[in-house]
Structure 1
Amino acid sequence: MRVAFLGVRVPGHLNPTTTLARKLQARGHDVVFLSVPDTEPFVRAAQLPYVPFSEKDFPVGSLAKSLDQLNKLKGQEALEMVMRLVSANMESAFRNLPQALQDVKADALVLDESERGLGCVPMHLGMPYVHISNALPIDLAGITPVCTFDWPHETTPEARTRNQAGVRSLLRIYEPILSVARAYAERVGLKIDWSDPYATISPLGWLTQMPREFDFESSHWPPSFHYTGPFHDGLGRIESDFPWDRLTGEPLIYASMGTLQNGLESVFQTIAEAVGTRPGMQLVLSIGPALDPEKISPLPHNCIVVKNAPQMELLKRAALCITHAGLNTALESLTQGVPMVAVPVSIDQPGVAARIAYTKTGKFVPIKELTVPRLAALIDEVLSNPEYRQNAMKMKEAIVRTNGLEKAADLIEQAFHLSPKSEAHPLAAN
């Protein structure tokens, strides 16, 4: 059986998806990775068979143009922009995916839940499929706060009413995506109950890389939903040229605002100033490709500013991570037992930040409330109170105990009735 993975064209989704695909490949299964041309370096770095997808709609360079539009936005404006981009991706995918699956002779499909309406394609084709959530899974039932809000989880009637209002708010923004999916279903004669929030989610498997211990306590998810753990193994990423010789051995604070919304110069400026007030610490600031490092000043005397950092390696040395609260960075921090101070910008980041607070593995400040004194106070609190590090270490133990990557691969084998095979190394892309 050949398993096709359809990649979402941003690093925060590509890295965990390629890692999971490589795990199945290492177990001896036949996998192929479909994604737009801009993502080819990521797929090749993961040593996976790459097939270009939607190349006419998204030629080389289109990702950079999209990110240029997005990386300076925040809040509702950023969320609406993301929804427009996802809608365009899905329009193209509905046109191209059926033929692409036929061309690569795929027998099963792994989809990203962020484009959940694409489940209509394998449903129409009669092809088994599985969903993975690289970002927070979207709770459209309103039992827990929808991930675009930083609300705490509460079970009161008032909280449930608030959550339902949040779902309605998200669905209004989500409408362009849903309309694309509905149009495809109508065109191919597929009967879908669109009142069911999970109508196009795979009944065979919906896997989140979020550990159960990091989520709000709830049991409302459909039977196909499975908590696993981070889809990372430290391999298969594009290398970065980092000046390791400049690390002083002082306690390290690692700061990154991710890959989508890293054009907010004022945020990096605030981080630099807030950390600069603490003696005896070294700051590594990963700012992404959009900004000029020279514009971020004044910097702490021993600060290292880079456009791209080996994040997982640096987190192994870190005392604290300052993050945008992307799920990947949060999970990579917790894998190393590193507490966090989060500055959520948009999309699912408020929901990740709420879970950081819920698990007491860190603190957060909404970006609209970010100031140097507020951030400095949170840094002081997380570094001085051992409870945050202790809780992060407990989360690390849970992640190690679960081994989410192996569990996810097991679940996909079960969903597709793949015979488990022993791992073979090394594997090369063909």
Structure 2
Amino acid sequence: MASSYEGSSSSDPPLHNTLLVCGTMARILFLPLPEAGHIHATFGLAKQLEARGHEIGYMAPPDAEPFLHSRPWPFTPMLEDVFPRGYQAEVFSRIEDPKLPPPARKQTIDEFLRRHELRITEVLFGASFESRLRDSGADLLLVDASYPLPILAASKLGIPAFQICTNFALNRDAAVPPLTSHHIPTGSIASGLQIAFAWKWLYLRTFMGVLGKMRAHVRAFYDRHPEAPPGDFHTHLQAGPHLRIPTLVTCVPEFDFRRASGGLHYLGPCVDRDRDEPALPPELASGEAPLVLCSLGSHGNRVRGHQAFFKSVIDAFARRPHLRLLMAVGKEIGTEAFGPLPENVTVVDWVPQLTALKRASLMITHGGLNSVKECISMGVPMIAYPLVFDQPGNAARIVHHGIGLRGDIRQATTEQVGAQIDEVLGNPIYRARVQALQQVFVDADDSGRGAETVEALLPAHGRAAAPLLRVQTH
């Protein structure tokens, strides 16, 4: 018998989903990756839903809990036997240690991959995880699209679950390159071929390594549960198949590339613009000198060459005393790593980003979508130096929409960085374009579009299938 997985098409047609209208308060659980960026990106939507009377909760491996410590929503750990608290940080610390002998590094990576396979089998087939979902009392699960397997587990219990993208959509689209690509689509034949090749290469990689094992486990799941939501592996940056169910994107279509396929629900940027953050030091909070913020995000410390890049940025500002630089370098480097600093440069471990952006004229960023959305929401143009994951695709959109520039962090010199700073600050068109997009962002979030979209996916009476209202998606 052909399973939902085996019989799925390699390209997703536009989805005309049956959406459910909500009539009462619901318990909505977020299942994010235990990463700062993935968790913080949900806060704006969670606040919208809570303001409309819904009960919010989070469920994730224990390493996610510290990122929720200042939030009012309850946290339920899951998979703690496979990924105990602190394990993720310990693994990354060991792998990145240059003094770690190669055999020990290989052993660490092999153990990490072994645990990932255990996670797959536990989520798809484990009684403990199934019990955790059942006991949650959830009316709806919003599952991080980067790890969609809990959606399949929820389908066995009849719990509605949808995939939420804290980046742009991850499934293959004939008109849009993967987010890992720097390519900006032009509509030409050559551009189309480049996009097609990039997607084909990513698909072939799903037959290798841990992804190949995952395909086998997913196929076994569909053999047992052919009624589960169909999916395929024509995707990227997903540890699992792309499921052809409503896909929620925490952004607006105006910032995305124009897509050939449908089935996406753009929730708005879902930026928590009112979050409580510390104030900037007085010397940075005021003054006439334009302030430039530089930060490479929560993963910036994991990329070779970042310290040299920071030094190039500092040297560029040493030559521009009329500007002010606020740079966050992370605890791994430390604020003392650069020696005596120019008077117009402040280096810190961490920066209250929204607070700084309210004062900033420019941000030098890694291009993580959270940072990009916050810049746009504050009307701040950018210079993006993408590192990994979806950051190249985000930087391509920055350039495409004319709201900033991009560069190569491994080749950046003081002269190149300085020239880009002069171009963006000296040309008012960048700020004008980002302010026009800012209005789109703010209007989308103020309208409550995200919460209304999620409510349209809720059953009218808990999990019971009430009469349905068919809503056309786009």
TM-score by length of 1: 0.85
SS in 1 for 2:292: strand
Match of 1:292 in 2: 334
Match of 1:37 in 2: 62
Residue 292 of structure 2 corresponds to residue 253 of structure 1 = yes
Cα deviation for residue 124 of structure 1 reads 3.5
SS in 1 for 2:162: strand
Residue 247 of structure 2 corresponds to residue 206 of structure 1 = yes
SS in 2 for 1:230: coil
Q: Distance in 1 between matches of 2:190 and 2:448?
A: 40
Which is richer in helix? 1
Matches within 5 A, 1:30-429: 30-68=55-93, 87=116, 91=120, 93-94=123-124, 95=126, 97-175=129-207, 176-177=210-211, 179-180=213-214, 182-187=216-221, 189-191=224-226, 192=230, 194=232, 201=242, 205-218=246-259, 220-223=260-263, 225-235=264-274, 243-247=281-285, 249=287, 250-263=289-302, 264-297=306-339, 299-403=341-445, 406-417=448-459
Q: CA 1:358–1:196 in structure 2 vs 1: closer, same or farther (change >3 Å)?
A: closer
Cα deviation for residue 159 of structure 1 reads 1.4
Q: Distance in 2 between matches of 1:86 and 1:395?
A: 43
Deviates more, 1:133-142 or 1:322-331: 133-142
Does the 8 Å CA contact 2:134/2:157 hold for their aligned counterparts? no
Cα deviation for residue 132 of structure 1 reads 1.3
Q: Distance in 1 between matches of 2:114 and 2:93?
A: 12
Q: CA 1:156–1:216 in structure 2 vs 1: closer, same or farther (change >3 Å)?
A: same
Q: Distance in 2 between matches of 1:282 and 1:85?
A: 47
AA in 2 matched with 1:254: L
Identity percentage of aligned residues: 28
Cα deviation for residue 229 of structure 1 reads 2.1
AA in 1 matched with 2:396: A
Q: Distance in 1 between matches of 2:419 and 2:252?
A: 29
AA in 2 matched with 1:59: P
Q: Distance in 1 between matches of 2:95 and 2:385?
A: 17
Q: Distance in 2 between matches of 1:86 and 1:138?
A: 24
SS in 2 for 1:207: strand
Residue 63 of structure 2 corresponds to residue 22 of structure 1 = no
Cα deviation for residue 196 of structure 1 reads 6.2
Deviates more, 1:374-383 or 1:314-323: 374-383
Q: Distance in 1 between matches of 2:176 and 2:293?
A: 31
SS in 2 for 1:331: helix
Does the 8 Å CA contact 1:270/1:372 hold for their aligned counterparts? yes
Deviates more, 1:149-158 or 1:380-389: 149-158
Q: Distance in 2 between matches of 1:72 and 1:274?
A: 30
Q: Distance in 2 between matches of 1:159 and 1:4?
A: 40
Cα deviation for residue 404 of structure 1 reads 7.1
Does the 8 Å CA contact 1:251/1:282 hold for their aligned counterparts? yes
AA in 2 matched with 1:221: S
Q: CA 1:418–1:303 in structure 2 vs 1: closer, same or farther (change >3 Å)?
A: farther
Gaps of 5+ in 2: 1-25, 99-108, 462-474
Does the 8 Å CA contact 1:321/1:341 hold for their aligned counterparts? yes
SS in 2 for 1:51: strand
Does the 8 Å CA contact 2:172/2:234 hold for their aligned counterparts? no
AA in 1 matched with 2:81: K
TM-score by length of 2: 0.78
SS in 2 for 1:294: coil
SS in 2 for 1:106: coil
Deviates more, 1:92-101 or 1:392-401: 92-101
AA in 2 matched with 1:229: G
Q: Distance in 1 between matches of 2:118 and 2:398?
A: 31
Does the 8 Å CA contact 2:291/2:324 hold for their aligned counterparts? yes
Q: Distance in 2 between matches of 1:85 and 1:228?
A: 36
Does the 8 Å CA contact 1:207/1:228 hold for their aligned counterparts? yes
Q: CA 1:376–1:216 in structure 2 vs 1: closer, same or farther (change >3 Å)?
A: same
Does the 8 Å CA contact 1:19/1:46 hold for their aligned counterparts? no
Q: CA 1:50–1:228 in structure 2 vs 1: closer, same or farther (change >3 Å)?
A: same
SS in 2 for 1:110: strand
Residue 36 of structure 2 corresponds to residue 11 of structure 1 = yes
Q: Which has the larger radius of gyration?
A: 2
Q: Distance in 2 between matches of 1:411 and 1:285?
A: 37
Q: CA 1:289–1:174 in structure 2 vs 1: closer, same or farther (change >3 Å)?
A: farther
Q: Distance in 2 between matches of 1:200 and 1:299?
A: 49
Q: Distance in 2 between matches of 1:110 and 1:389?
A: 35
Residue-by-residue CA offset, 1:184-223 (whole Å, 9 max, x unaligned)? 45146134553665995565531212221211123x2333
Q: CA 1:236–1:56 in structure 2 vs 1: closer, same or farther (change >3 Å)?
A: farther
AA in 2 matched with 1:53: M
Cα deviation for residue 86 of structure 1 reads 11
Cα deviation for residue 84 of structure 1 reads 6.2
Q: Distance in 2 between matches of 1:405 and 1:130?
A: 22
Does the 8 Å CA contact 1:148/1:347 hold for their aligned counterparts? yes
Does the 8 Å CA contact 1:139/1:147 hold for their aligned counterparts? no
SS in 1 for 2:174: coil
